[in-house]
Amino acid sequence: MNILIKNGRLIDPKSQIDAVHDIAIAGQRIVAIDPNPDEFKADRTIDASGLAVIPGLVDLSVRLREPGYEHRDTLETELMAALSGGVTRLVLPPDTDPTLDEPALVEMLKHRARALNQTYVYPLGAMTEALEGEQLTEMSELTRAGCIAFSHANRPLPALSTLKQCMQYAQSFGYSLWLRPHERSLTGNGVAASGEVASRLGLSGIPVQSETIALHALFELQRSVGVRLHLCRISSAQGVELVRQAKAEGLPVTCDVSVNHVHLTDVDIGFFDSNYRLDPPLRGKRDRDAIIQGLLDGTIDAICSDHMPLDDEDKLVPFAEAQPGASGVELLFSLVYKWAKDNSIPLLDALTKVTSGPVSILQQAAPAFSSCGQLSVGSPADLALVDLEEYWTVNRDSLLSQSVHTPFINYQVPGRVKLTIVSGRVMWEKAE
């Protein structure tokens, strides 16, 4: 199908364009910007007057609860939630049930995602069997099955000897490791960031050293082995500074941050609100300010939703007993836009962290990865139409995910996605 999008404000961080243009789509790709009407015949014309046209968002961490939790959420519902937020490509961590540690499981997941034909799903393979930190998986077989990189999800990192073996294996084949730095002996049973708030509430704390000591260990091993690392969900000022130093040293490292940590601090926990029980935990204002500065100066490469759909039984319990995590994939654009507005950051720059930034990370992990995350002639026709002037309230009625547990419940947020196109096909359109 040929689609013509007219009069939209094209915002493309990759090409640094922020202006009104028409876009012509033929098949799965963008074929022209401001096409000649005599040469392009559209099957459907979309009037985008008053709307922004942005690249489809790329989310580096979205749990879909399948396989293993189909009774709670399904691929179909969560992928539709992603589309409603303008997310066209997403990365799935390996901590499913069963774990993505066998090629057959990865192939089954890829087949299910292709059959639904909604968004692109890129699975991460487990570094160790069942994520237990002992026996290494067959990374080469998992890669052939469709894994783009390897991770230990939110599980504690393996013993240093096992971690070094993983790095050596990955380096031998040119694979990337996606790791969340936290030292198990310091994390313990903590549920909130160590500090004044945790002490006042009587909650067991997770010290910042859990992150920083793990980072020191990872960088030291990386210097020895040379493997490419992507650090997931950096949460502290000290962590951001260590990543900054590693990059200045020339180590092959990238990192991301959860959108929750861009906006929130441990003070927001309030009176034991379990929606703020996250992993990693929310830290102080100094840490949040350092994260924002890291985003601005390029230390942090991407923002992700860290989407984790959870049931009432997981969240409507005392804070310390609640499961960590929150829904967020359909809020990603609005929260990034809110961050940009609150900090007087041009939307063109802010969008980099959810479009071309994560695409660059994925291309480093898998060199054959397509040149998505941009709106240029020849690129995949993944895009979203957004009303930047509309504010909407986050509540049960406005969310498509089967989980509505988010720290932003009842927030009013800016920017509403009106239509999402994936590979040249309109996959979601907001009903008027």
Active site residues: 306
How far, in Å, CA of 176 to CA of 336, rounded? 27
Q: How far apart are CA 147 and CA 103, in angstroms?
A: 9
| Contact yes or no for 9/20 (Cβ under 8 A) | yes
CA triplet 54, 362, 258: central angle to 5 degrees? 70
What is the DSSP annotation of 360-427? HHHHHH-TT----SS-STTSB--EEEEEEEEEEE-STTT--SS----TTTT-EEEEEEEEEEETTEEE
**389 by DSSP, 3-state: which?**
strand
Report how far residue 430's alpha carbon sits from residue 420's, in angstroms, rounded to the nearest whole number: 9
Q: What is the DSSP string of 58-96?
A: EES-B---TTT-TTT--HHHHHHHHHHTTEEEEEE-S-S
Cβ proximity of 255 and 234 under 8 Å: yes
Q: Which two tokens stand for residue 177?
A: 């490791």
Which residues make beta-bridge pairs with 254?
230
CA pair distance 324, 317, nearest whole angstrom: 12
Note whether 400 and 81 are within 8 A (CB). Answer: yes
Neighbouring C-beta atoms of residue 294, cutoff 10 Å: 21
CA 176 to chain centre: 17
CA distance 302 to 60: 8
| Amino acid of residue 359 | V
For residue 427, the number of C-alpha atoms closer than 13 Å in the C-beta half-sphere is 29
Cis peptide before 35 (omega within 30 of 0): no
